[in-house]
Amino acid sequence: MTTQSKSEQDRVVIFDTTLRDGEQSPGATMTHEEKLEVAEVLDTMGVDIIEAGFPVASDGDFQAVHEIAKRTKNAVVCGLARAGHKDIDRAGEALKPARQSRIHTFISTSPVHMKWKLQMEPAQVYEMVISSVTRARNFTDNVEWSCEDGTRTEFDFLCRCAEAAINAGATTINIPDTVGYTVPEEYFNLIKMVRERVPNSDKARFSAHCHDDLGMAVANSLAGVRAGIRQIECTINGIGERAGNASLEEVVMAMKVRNDVLPYWTNVDTTMLMRASKLVSAVTSFPVQYNKAIVGRNAFAHESGIHQDGMLKHTQTYEIMIPETVGVKQTSLVMGKHSGRHAFVHKLEELGYQLAGNQLEDAFVRFKALADRKKHVYDEDLEALVDEEIAHAQDRIKLVSLTVIAGTHGPQRATMKLDIDGNVAIEEREGNGPVDATFNCIKALVPNEALLELYQVHAVTHGTDAQAEVSVRLSEDGRSVTAKGADPDTLVASAKAYLGALNRLMVKRQKGRPEPLVSERRVHSTEA
C-alpha cells in the first residue's frame, strides 16, 4: 500500500515464459491462435520480455515465435535455444521480424546434468558456452545465457562459465533453479557470491528462473532480487514444468504491495492480471486453484462472520490489496434472456474479455441460448461460455448434436453427430452408463488409442439448472492434454470436453520433439 519510488536501478524486468516453460507443463498445449492471443495480452500489460517458444522444437513452435515476433509492439520477443548451432540459427531465423529480439541459449552446468544428461566433460561444456553465445550474437546483441541446474552447480565452474558467457557477449545471465531445490537464503547467497566473484558481472543483468517443486519459487525469486537480480522469469498462474514456475502475478504484486520491504518496481499494469490469468487458464484448460494468491476465486472472498463484520467496518481489516488493483471487479449485474448485445459486451469487458468479430457473434448467440435455458446467467456462467469460445474456436472436430437415453432400465444408449473437418458423421453406441455410451460414440467416430486419465465434473454456479463444467485429460505416447467443456447438460459438457482434448491431442501430435544435440545421446535428455 506504499507508493513506489521509481529509480531505474530498482526496476525489475519481467520475463514471461508462459508460452515456453508454461506450455511445457504436461497437458498445457496451446494452439497457434491461442499463443498469439496470450502474447498480445502480455504485450499490452507491460511484460518486458516474452519468451515465445523453442523454435527448433517443431515447425509449430517456429511459426508461433515468428508470428509473435511480427506482431509484438512493445516487448522484446525471445526464443529459446540449446547450445548447438542448429538451435541458435533456428531461433535467429524465427525472431527475424521482431522489433526487438533476444536469443536465450542454455546448457547444463551441474555435475549430475553434465555427466548423465549431456555426457560431456566440464571443459567441453565451457567451450560450448562460448561458442553458443558467440553464435547467438550474430543474430542479435541481446543474448541471454542460462546455466541449467545452476543451483546445483559447483561455484567455481558456475563463475567461470558466467564470466565466459559475458565475455562472449551475453547481456543477461540467468541462474535457474531448474529443479526447484533451493531455499531463499541459499539463493540469496548464491547470487551475491556470483555477482561478487565474476569479474565482469557489472556488464550483465542477472536473472532468476525458479521452479516451484518445494513451493518456494516466488520467495526464491524475490530473495534473488534482494541479492541484485533485476530480471525475474515467471509465468501467468505459475504454470510450467512439473510444479511450475514462479507466478508472475505473485512476484509483481509482492513488490507492489510490500514496496516498503521490497523497494523494486515493474512495468506491469496490474489491473490486467486477472484477465491474463483467466485467458491462460482457458486456453490451457488448467483451472486456477480457488485459494491461489492474487487470482484465485477466493482471493478476495470473505466467508466467516467475523471477517465479514470486519470488512463492513473497514476493508483494510482483512484486505491487503484493493481487488480492482489486480483487475477484480465487484459488480452485481446478473444477465438474463432480456439482456441485449450492449449489456453483454459491457459485461464481458468488466470481466476482462475483449471479443470481436465472429468470436463475439458466436459468444452472443451462445449466451442467448444459455439464457433461454437458465433464468439467471452469472459471471461464472459467462466466463465458462467465453473461455470455451476461445479454447475451441480452432477445433477440427465439433459436436453437432447428442441424444442420450439413460435411466434405471439399461443399457444406456447415445446417438451423436460430429462435424469433422467440415464433414458430418453420425454414430450410435451403448455403454455402461450414459457417459460411457457418449464416449463410445466419440471413439467410434474418431478412433484413437488415447487413455482417459481424468474425468471431473463440477457445477459452475449453484442451483439445479447450473451449468456443468467437465474436465477431461487424455494421454497418448507420453503426451497429455487437458480440455474443459461447459453446458447445462452434463453429458453435452462431457462430450465437449472429450472432443476438446482430442482436438488438442492433434495439435500436440504435430508438435513432435526436437532432435537431440550431437552431445545429447539419450532422447529424454533433449527437452528444455
CA distance 328 to 341: 23
Assigned C-alpha cell, 353: 474479455
Assigned C-alpha cell, 427: 454414430
Say if strands 49-53 and 13-16 run parallel, antiparallel, or are unpaired.
Answer: parallel
Pick from 176, 352, 434, 485 the residue near ligand KIV by CB under 6 A. 176
Min. distance of Cβ 177 from ligand KIV in angstroms? 8
What x/- string results for residues 10 through 49 when contact with Zn ion is judged by CB under 5 A? Answer: -----------x----------------------------
Site for Zn ion in 155-174 (CB under 5 A): none
Cβ-contact 152, 179 below 8 angstroms: yes
Q: Which helix (H) or strand (E) holds 173?
A: strand 172-177
CA distance 469 to 90: 40
CA distance 314 to 309: 9
Reported in sequence order, the residue ranges of 83-151 that DSSP labels E, i.e. its strands, are 101-108, 143-148
For ligand KIV, which is the closer residue by CB, 243 or 393?
243
Q: Is residue 146 near ligand KIV by the rule CB under 6 A?
A: yes
Pick from 178, 220, 285, 412 the residue near ligand KIV by CB under 6 A. 178
Q: Is residue 144 near Zn ion by the rule CB under 5 A?
A: no
Assigned C-alpha cell, 153: 552447480
For ligand KIV, which is the closer residue by CB, 55 or 431?
55
Cβ-contact 126, 153 below 8 angstroms: no
Three-state DSSP class for residue 414: strand
Which range binds ligand KIV by CB under 6 A, 164-172, 174-182, 302-310, 470-478? 174-182
Q: Is residue 148 near ligand KIV by the rule CB under 6 A?
A: yes
- The 10 Å Cβ neighbour count of residue 358 is 10
Which residue is it, cell 532432435?
515
Residue 327, phi-psi category: left (phi > 0), alpha (psi -120 to 50), beta (remainder): left
- The 10 Å Cβ neighbour count of residue 262 is 17
Q: Is residue 234 near ligand KIV by the rule CB under 6 A?
A: no
For ligand KIV, which is the closer residue by CB, 27 or 240?
240
Min. distance of Cβ 195 from ligand KIV in angstroms? 19
Min. distance of Cβ 178 from Zn ion in angstroms? 6
Phi, psi of 299 (to 5 degrees): -60, -30
Q: Is residue 209 near ligand KIV by the rule CB under 6 A?
A: yes
Which range binds ligand KIV by CB under 6 A, 67-75, 172-180, 260-268, 341-349? 172-180
Q: Is residue 61 near ligand KIV by the rule CB under 6 A?
A: no
Q: Is residue 25 near ligand KIV by the rule CB under 6 A?
A: no
Min. distance of Cβ 209 from ligand KIV in angstroms? 5
Q: How many Å from the N-terminal Cα to the C-terminal Cα in the chain?
A: 38
Count of residues that bind ligand KIV according to CB under 6 A:
10
For Zn ion, which is the closer residue by CB, 21 or 389?
21
Q: Is residue 106 near ligand KIV by the rule CB under 6 A?
A: yes
Which range binds ligand KIV by CB under 6 A, 25-33, 85-93, 171-179, 413-421? 171-179
* CA angle in degrees (0–180, nearest 5) for 499-503-509: 140
Pick from 16, 21, 381, 520 the residue near ligand KIV by CB under 6 A. 21
| Site for ligand KIV, rule CB under 6 A | 21, 106, 146, 148, 174, 176, 178, 209, 211, 528
| Site for Zn ion, rule CB under 5 A | 21
